[in-house]
Structure 1
Amino acid sequence: MLNRSALLLRYKAPAVQWINDADPAPGGSGVTLAEVNGDLTVYLISDEVAESPDEVRRWVKANWRRLYESELEGWYTDPALWPKLTLKRFDEWFDVEYHSMLVDTLGTPIEDDEAED
């Protein structure tokens, strides 16, 4: 077991609409809600944060911009394509899901792929 909890941002329809409108695909076939939510980023948070919905909400309110930017960068790295970032819009675009039990089934060291050598 790891001394972390997991937080995921499950996309809602307005976010998917933005993805498709920001840079329309040729032929008008954009991504679907199911496709977007098929492979989500997992954010590791402290166990203490995941102790209650109120604690998770406090943490999200303190970190929403960083989370939001991380998600948008995954779609479009050009901030000119991004909407105005607000907590209200963040809440309209994402359901916050958290899980307090993480089990490492590999037993090998966890490494940071982006850490400098």
Structure 2
Amino acid sequence: MSHLTDIDAAPMVNRGAIILRPAQPYLDWAASLGGGGPLPSADGEQAVYLVDEWENDRSQQRILQRCFAELFEQELGAWCTDESLWPKKRDLATFKKWFRVEMHSLVVDVSAEPLELVES
């Protein structure tokens, strides 16, 4: 018995997705904090952020411009909750240096389970 819906009949979700992969500045920052645990990996599992859909490159860039600061803080806070240790400069250019930004416009729900929002 399959746990997935028929992919041809799977609904598309009215969202785009952003995946952030840590680049060298983020990895260097994380390593500088110590902690002894394994460092983040650019090839490892990453959070997927759902954002508004976009129609073209310009609207895609507007979405990134609107949400990058919150995403930057989310990723920094996931590694270190002491905001005094976060980089002082957190503009879009720095964000793009610290992360490989993947933006995906097609989000398809192939699960047979109903979609639920979980409060954090």
Which category describes the TM-score, using the shorter chain as reference length? 0.7 to 0.9
Q: Give the match for residue 50 of structure 2.
A: 44
CA RMSD of aligned residues (A): 2.0
> What SS does the aligned partner of 1:112 have?
coil
TM-score (norm 2): 0.77
Q: Does structure 2 retain, via aligned residues, the 8 Å contact 1:20–1:30?
A: no
The gaps in structure 2 that reach 5 residues or longer are 1-11
Q: How many residues align?
A: 108
CA deviation map 1:43-64 (0-9, x unaligned):
11122x2x33322222111221
Q: Confirm or deny: 8 A CA contact 2:26 2:99 kept in the other structure.
A: yes
Distance 1:31 1:44 in 2: 25
Aligned pair in 2 of structure 1 residues 53, 6: CA closer, same or farther (>3 Å)? same
| Larger Rg, first or second structure (1 or 2) | 2
Q: Check 1:54–1:11 CA distance in 2 against 1; reply closer, same or farther (3 A cut).
A: farther
Aligned partner of 1:81 in structure 2 is 85
The answer to whether the 8 Å contact 2:23/2:42 transfers is: no
Give 1 or 2: higher helix fraction: 1
Which runs of 5 or more structure 1 residues have no equivalent in the other structure? none
TM-score, structure 1 normalization? 0.79
Q: Deviations over 1:8-60 (max 9, x none)?
A: 11221111111111x2144xx8626xx2441111111122x2x3332222211
